[in-house]
Structure 1
Amino acid sequence: MLRQTISTASKVVRSSAGLNIQRRALHARPSLIQATALNAARTVAPRARWYSAEAEKKEGEQSKNGEEAKPAETDSVEAQLRKQLEAKEAEVRDWKDKCLRSIADFRNLQDSSAREMKAARDFAIQKFAKDLVDSVDNFERALTMVPEDKLKTEEKSEHLKDLVNLYEGLQMTEKILVDTLKKHGLERFDPQGLVFNPNEHEAAFVTPQPDKEHNTVFHVQQKGFKLNGRILRPAKVGVVKNK
């Protein structure tokens, strides 16, 4: 019993002492916490301040570098785009020039082809026309062989009437032939009394004629022919030469 009482009393004393210690610790804990917080603030604050200043400085430098880098990058992109645009514009001008040149060449080709076709069409009968010229000359020679006095006589015998009818028939045939050739571009011309033109006339002979002007045609030996304005055969003429 005595031992139990002593042990119980010792337990009670220990528990009361422990409670007192806990109470003292509780009372002392706020001040300890405040001191700890104050020490922590004193130790951490400078570091946080130093860190924040460095961070702000770094952020400022980064932002400044970023602002400087962005305009540089923008300028480089704009310069690149400008170069590409100038290259495209130069290419467009080049292709436009080529297109205009091609159109001009094509139109020139069309014009030259049209001229060649027209010339081929106009002068396709040139060889045939040269052969016809001799026939027209023969008609003219046959008409000139009939004397005019026999055609103008009032009293005509049967033989003269037949000659007149033949003459009129040849004259009509010649006129129809000449008109038909003229429709196809073959035209006969007579340079009698005109100024001598070496491009259209061939001087068979020259002689002085005091009553006529110098370098004029006074005699036509053979009439000339033109095919669509081009000389097919020059006229053979006699030219006055007074100098």
Structure 2
Amino acid sequence: MEHDEKRKDKRTVIIPIRRANEKVEKKSSDMSAEDISLQEMEDRWRRALADFDNYRKRCEREMQGTREDERARVLASMLPVLDSIENALKASKDYDHPIVKGVESIYKLMKQILSSYGVEKIEAEKMLFDPNWHEVVGTVANPQLPDGFVWEVVQKGYKLGDRMLRPAKVIVVKNYENNNQNKQG
């Protein structure tokens, strides 16, 4: 009987301990689930923050690109005015006339303004044709020069950094006789 009582006493002690352990384990798993949920929410928050930062940077790049495009468009729209002033100066006969002097001052000012914004003339004279910067508007035969040599610049080209505002319109050397002889030989 004594043995049964000891067993009963053990059960009365063990059962509450088991129940307490189960409760602790349940609380622990609940806390673990809360920790996981909190960690998951924190990860989502960090991802959303990173996504927003990437979005902000992309918007800034797009805005910068739009500003550069507009700047190039405005500067390119000034080039025909520069051409007209240059043509007026070439056509004038009396270089000492006050109006010609005034037009010359305007021309210099216009070139300074364009230069201050980074506009540069595209080199085309006395060089080989470059399709990236030149546009062929005519050809001329000259056996003393190689094919593709820029014979004459019809209209100056301009660039803004690496961006072309307007290609240089050129007449290039094209030797048809040399090409025919090369094909036959």
Same fold (TM over 0.5): yes
1:194-240 residue CA offsets vs partner (Å, 9 max, x unmatched):
55443433222356766556655443221123356532222212345
Query: Cα distance, 1:64 vs. partner?
Result: 2.2
| Contact residue 190 and residue 220 of structure 1 kept, 8 A | no
Q: Return the TM-score normalized by structure 1.
A: 0.55
Aligned length: 174
Partners of 1:187 and 1:199 lie apart in 2 by 15
Query: Cα distance, 1:169 vs. partner?
Result: 4.7
**Mapped pair 1:114 → 2:60:** yes
| Contact residue 202 and residue 234 of structure 1 kept, 8 A | yes
Partners of 1:182 and 1:211 lie apart in 2 by 36
SS in 2 for 1:191: coil
Partners of 1:131 and 1:217 lie apart in 2 by 26
Query: Cα distance, 1:137 vs. partner?
Result: 0.7
Partners of 1:70 and 1:214 lie apart in 2 by 102
Range moving further from structure 2, 59-68 or 186-195: 186-195
**Mapped pair 1:133 → 2:79:** yes
Query: Cα distance, 1:125 vs. partner?
Result: 5.1
Structure 2 equivalent of residue 165 of structure 1: 96
Structure 2 equivalent of residue 205 of structure 1: 138
1:51-84 residue CA offsets vs partner (Å, 9 max, x unmatched):
xxx3x33431123223443453344234323422
1:83-134 residue CA offsets vs partner (Å, 9 max, x unmatched):
2233233223322322222222222222233233333434435554444211
| Contact residue 213 and residue 240 of structure 1 kept, 8 A | yes
Partners of 1:188 and 1:200 lie apart in 2 by 10
SS in 2 for 1:165: coil
Partners of 1:195 and 1:66 lie apart in 2 by 104
Q: Assess, with a 3 A threshold, how the Cα gap between structure 1 residues 192 and 88 changes in structure 2: closer, same or farther.
A: farther
Of structures 1 and 2, the one with the larger relative CO (CA 8 A, separation 6+) is 2
Q: List runs of 5+ in structure 1 lacking aligned partners.
A: 1-53, 147-159
SS in 2 for 1:232: strand
Q: Return the TM-score normalized by structure 2.
A: 0.68
Partners of 2:59 and 2:108 lie apart in 1 by 36
Structure 1 equivalent of residue 167 of structure 2: 234
Structure 2 equivalent of residue 31 of structure 1: none
Structure 2 equivalent of residue 182 of structure 1: 115
Select the residue among 5, 16, 27 that pairs with 1:81. 27
- The structure carrying a bigger helix percent of its residues is 1
SS in 2 for 1:57: helix
Partners of 2:109 and 2:3 lie apart in 1 by 115
Range moving further from structure 2, 59-68 or 130-139: 59-68
